[in-house]
Structure 1
Amino acid sequence: MAPTGHESHRRSHRESYYERTDERHYKPTPHAQGAWSPDEQHFGPVSGLLAHVLDRHVAERPGPGLALARISYDILGRIAFEECEVTVETIRPGRTIELLEAVLRIGDRPVVRARAWLLASLDTTAVADSPFERIPHPDTLAPWTMGDTWGGGYIASLDARRVPSHRKGRTAAWISSTVDLVADEPRSELASYLTLVDTANGIAVQQDPTAWMFPNVDLTIHLHRTPRGPWTGLDTSVTFGPSGQGVTSSVLHDVHGPVGHAEQILTVRPIPGT
């Protein structure tokens, strides 16, 4: 992860998703509250916290800067709204290619594992290209109140702008948040961006979430360049299969164009009593 884009000042007066309680432990604030249940953490802030810890781990080491190329999260169980511990381990060290793993635990139980591939950066501007078109700039879109569909403190913390869509399971949206990841700690643009990617599963719903559940059990993000700026752009399609599985697929953007892709596997089931 490239240790660039960090804000240089501390902002103790600002709201945050987490408060650090010691070197490895973090307490969620109400802004991290989940959309499916008020006593769970939303995976968006959780994914951002893991990226933040990985980012700081890389920034504190000597040696050449490496850029995040892929981060994959596996959700191993319910993410209770409780204090959590995050640890980092180097799985495959290297000067040009490296694999790191961060684990989030609640109590003694691992709840989320994140693995990040870091690659050396070099100048390939001459051949840089993508076949994906840009999505409309957020300044051209009206604000969208996600709280009309979803509850929870995390959703309430977002500024969302959505491209109108006439097809279930298909839309594009921009997501931003002024809430810090960890109180009194500078955040990188990359960690802030990654915090918002999980929101993709809530912007192009196939079915009413009061009648159907479709939480994701993973999130995998591939980046062909490091995103910049405060907006996370999601050009998203959601597919439900006939046997209880679904997939949320997104082309990721910043305001300068496409930056990568994200995939989420869903477990689809009716809510009991509906």
Structure 2
Amino acid sequence: MTTPTAAPDSYYQRTGEHRFKPTLHAQGAWHPDEQHFSPLGGLIVHAIACHRAGRGGDRLALARISFDILGLIALEECEITVETLRPGRTIELVEATVVIGDRAVVRARAWFLAELDTAAVAGTHEGRIPAPEELEPWTMGGMWGGGYIASIDVRRRESAPGRATAWITTPVDLVAGEPSTAHASFIALVDTANGIAARKPPTEWMFPNTDLTIHFFRRPEGRWTGLDTSVSFGPTGHGITSTVLHDQHGPLGRAEQILTVRPQNPTCP
């Protein structure tokens, strides 16, 4: 295993045109030798933005991105390749693949759509959540371990097991020495949703997600990622984490994660 860099100010360091090495800030919550998907999701969006930068990519905005997690993501150097599958002036589809060693560990597809003025008809039925300063700081490390969890500032209000509202921010850069887009910085915190509203203690039950799908109806702004999250467990080992996404201007999209639910101890009731 490649030892992760102990850099104090970033989740990743670029080691080549398409290669990135994680720091200890990217360490996962389920196992110390794996990456947390949150910063890796942001890194994928960063790599997509770099790919599109030379193609006039700012004329289109990210509307949906889906990540398929193909297995354990080792805390090791990765390579991200990006391909434009469907170019266009108003609609574009991009695919990214993350490889560690010789194995693909994540595949992502992102739809970009043209922007135009629809302010006259803009609206949503989703309500605003309390501002970050209205929620209490939450030491997430009391429930979860890992370098990523230790790197974030969380404000949370839990109303029931599996139901919580939270704001998350971090002082840690996504990639050392490189500016990140608003989407990349925002998405780098979204996968945390599965941990802020746990239905059961992670010491008793495992419920990792095998995917993450995000839809946006406007661009995110600011340094906070807001999560209004509900978690459902079914009777046959499956679950869903559903989140309305917010920035400090209000709701802006949704995220969904499918879960595989199983006891840590097979005899657990």
Q: With the length of structure 1 as denominator, give the TM-score of the two structures.
A: 0.93
How far, CA to CA, are the matches of 1:18 and 1:204 in structure 2? 27
Match of 2:133 in 1: 139
How far, CA to CA, are the matches of 2:185 and 2:174 in structure 1? 7
Match of 1:34 in 2: 28
- Helix, strand or coil for the counterpart of 1:34? coil
Match of 1:109 among 100, 103, 106: 103
Task: Measure how far apart 1:59 and its partner are.
Answer: 2.1
Match of 1:222 in 2: 215
Match of 1:155 among 138, 149, 163: 149
| Structure 1 residues 63 and 175, CA gap change in structure 2 (3 angstroms) | closer
Per mean C-alpha deviation after superposition, the further-off stretch among 70-79 and 58-67 is 58-67
Task: Measure how far apart 1:189 and its partner are.
Answer: 1.6
Residue 213 in 1 paired to residue 206 in 2? Answer: yes
How far, CA to CA, are the matches of 1:216 and 1:36 in structure 2? 11
In the alignment, structure 2 segments of 5+ residues that lack a partner are 1-6
| Structure 1 residues 98 and 160, CA gap change in structure 2 (3 angstroms) | same
| Structure 1 residues 64 and 185, CA gap change in structure 2 (3 angstroms) | closer
How far, CA to CA, are the matches of 1:79 and 1:199 in structure 2? 16
Preserved CA contact (<8 Å) 1:14 1:180: no
| Structure 1 residues 139 and 63, CA gap change in structure 2 (3 angstroms) | closer
Match of 1:92 among 86, 96, 100: 86
Preserved CA contact (<8 Å) 1:219 1:262: yes
- Helix, strand or coil for the counterpart of 2:258? strand
| Structure 1 residues 239 and 63, CA gap change in structure 2 (3 angstroms) | closer
Preserved CA contact (<8 Å) 2:91 2:112: yes
Which AA in structure 2 matches 1:169?
G
Per mean C-alpha deviation after superposition, the further-off stretch among 146-155 and 49-58 is 49-58
Preserved CA contact (<8 Å) 1:20 1:26: yes
Per mean C-alpha deviation after superposition, the further-off stretch among 210-219 and 54-63 is 54-63
Task: Measure how far apart 1:164 and its partner are.
Answer: 3.8
Task: Measure how far apart 1:18 and its partner are.
Answer: 0.4
| Structure 1 residues 94 and 153, CA gap change in structure 2 (3 angstroms) | same
Match of 1:52 among 46, 49, 52: 46
How far, CA to CA, are the matches of 2:47 and 2:198 in structure 1? 31
Task: Measure how far apart 1:141 and its partner are.
Answer: 1.7
Task: Measure how far apart 1:31 and its partner are.
Answer: 0.1
- Helix, strand or coil for the counterpart of 1:113? strand
Task: Measure how far apart 1:64 and its partner are.
Answer: 6.1
Residue 242 in 1 paired to residue 252 in 2? Answer: no
- Helix, strand or coil for the counterpart of 2:202? coil
| Structure 1 residues 14 and 188, CA gap change in structure 2 (3 angstroms) | farther
Task: Measure how far apart 1:143 and its partner are.
Answer: 1.0
Match of 2:188 among 181, 195, 210: 195
Calculate percent identity across the aligned residue pairs: 66
Preserved CA contact (<8 Å) 1:100 1:116: yes
How far, CA to CA, are the matches of 1:22 and 1:56 in structure 2? 13
User: What CA RMSD, in Å, does the superposition of the two structures yield over aligned residues?
Assistant: 1.2
Task: Measure how far apart 1:56 and its partner are.
Answer: 1.8
Per mean C-alpha deviation after superposition, the further-off stretch among 64-73 and 243-252 is 64-73
- Helix, strand or coil for the counterpart of 1:226? coil
Match of 1:5 in 2: none
Preserved CA contact (<8 Å) 1:172 1:234: yes
Report how many aligned residue pairs link the two structures: 261
| Structure 1 residues 63 and 265, CA gap change in structure 2 (3 angstroms) | closer
Task: Measure how far apart 1:36 and its partner are.
Answer: 0.2
Match of 1:76 among 51, 57, 70: 70
> Which runs of 4 or more aligned residues in structure 1 lie more than 6 Å from their structure 2 counterparts after TM superposition?
none
Preserved CA contact (<8 Å) 2:158 2:197: no
Match of 1:252 in 2: 245
Task: String of CA shifts for 1:13-37, please: whole Å, max 9, x gaps.
Answer: 9600001111111100000000000
How far, CA to CA, are the matches of 1:161 and 1:32 in structure 2? 20
